[in-house]
Chains A and B, each alone.
Chain A
């Protein structure tokens, strides 16, 4: 047929409109994310893992433009490898966050991605850093992505300092579930990564195993 328009998703930018969260607990960190990648109104990947490793015990959570976020994560992964060889030991979480911040700040006009960096190192234990628009700040917890607005109130009310690992994982899953219910750009499954001195655990929680609330 003459003049048939091509599907919208071919021309829309691919974004991980998303919900990402990282929380420090007593002895480590838990990172969580949803799994939806959208291009305009279409979901182009419903099972993407947005928690990307930067080093054995340092992960980052991606949000914003998918391409920008993935590129930053890959560049920092490389830079961290070089750095850890130079110092002869595992890098600090702060170093990884600083490398992400340097890229975000230098190219802040061109890039539109926000990465949350979290991990465990020997010196400071579990740490979470936010790097929005080139700022570097350590926080007890950080949320990001389009779905995060809906859960600020919940996280403010429910966060407690010094939670144990299991409570922290449950808290992250609850928060992700609430955000995925309200945000059109977040959904799918929940990915979790728990990092402490003993190692790194990756987990997936499928849609029907997510917690439900009074109206579901």
Chain B
């Protein structure tokens, strides 16, 4: 008789997820859904926050194995705070992204996590960096990740415009997350958004019933 493994035993808790970040005129928006699932069958948390603060004005979003992502972000936070004490000024966004990249690249055999890093620094203003599964680091004006991102590639390509206003960018990010949550069964819950500008950081949570609805809902 074959032994039946449920997906959750084999995969562990993974953030089947949707994450995104986009640059607008003067800042950057980074956002995610809030569902943590075990093997696509059971929602282990409806309200997990996948947007993690690694420094005052630098946030990152994680996709992939939740355990790996938490461990890496903890290590990155430590490295960054040490680095900023040594440098005597806040770290650059690219420094934060590079720390994550080093960890992901050096441990690529064991880890299964990808990151989007977004933030603001005095040197280059708003920036978004992507660290992929194997440890590649690139900079993009807008980027999406996680299982739900497949469904919104077309929407993001069509609707993102450089130099949007803050309100337009918030609407764009909320719409994109809502569309992905509508089609991906392992993304859902509320939409967590963080807006980072030179002046500071603002958290916005859009609960399920306030998410935009589309023609078939």
Interface residues as binary, A148-159 with B (CB distance below 8 Å gives 1, 0 otherwise): 011111111111
B79: shortest Cβ distance to chain A, in Å? 32
Q: Quick one: which of A141-191 are within 8 Å of B by CB?
A: 149-161, 174-175, 178-179, 181-182
A-binding segment of B59-67, B94-102, B150-158: B150-158
Which residues of B have CB within 8 Å of A213?
Answer: 157-158
| CA A73 to CA B90, docked complex, whole Å | 64
Which residues of A have CB within 8 Å of B179?
Answer: 152-153, 156-157
Interface residues as binary, A57-70 with B (CB distance below 8 Å gives 1, 0 otherwise): 00000000000000
| CA A154 to CA B183, docked complex, whole Å | 11
Q: SS class of chain A's interface: helix, strand, loop or mixed?
A: helix
Q: Is A154 a contact partner of B154 (Cβ separation < 8 A)?
A: yes
| CA A159 to CA B161, docked complex, whole Å | 20
Q: Is A178 a contact partner of B154 (Cβ separation < 8 A)?
A: yes
Taking residues whose C-beta sits less than 8 angstroms from the other chain, chain A's interface range is: 20 to 34
Q: CB < 8 Å: which of A152, A175, A181, A214 contacts B151?
A: A152
Q: CB < 8 Å: which of A156, A158, A159, A181 contacts B183?
A: A156
The answer to whether A215 has its CB under 8 Å from any CB of chain B is yes
Give me the interface of A with B, judged by CB distance under 8 Å.
149-161, 174-175, 178-179, 181-182, 213-215
28 chain-A/chain-B pairs, Cβ below 8 angstroms: A150-B151, A150-B153, A151-B153, A151-B155, A152-B152, A152-B154, A152-B183, A153-B151, A153-B155, A153-B156, A153-B176, A153-B179, A153-B180, A153-B183, A154-B159, A156-B216, A157-B155, A157-B179, A157-B214, A159-B215, A160-B215, A161-B215, A174-B158, A178-B153, A178-B157, A178-B158, A213-B158, A214-B162
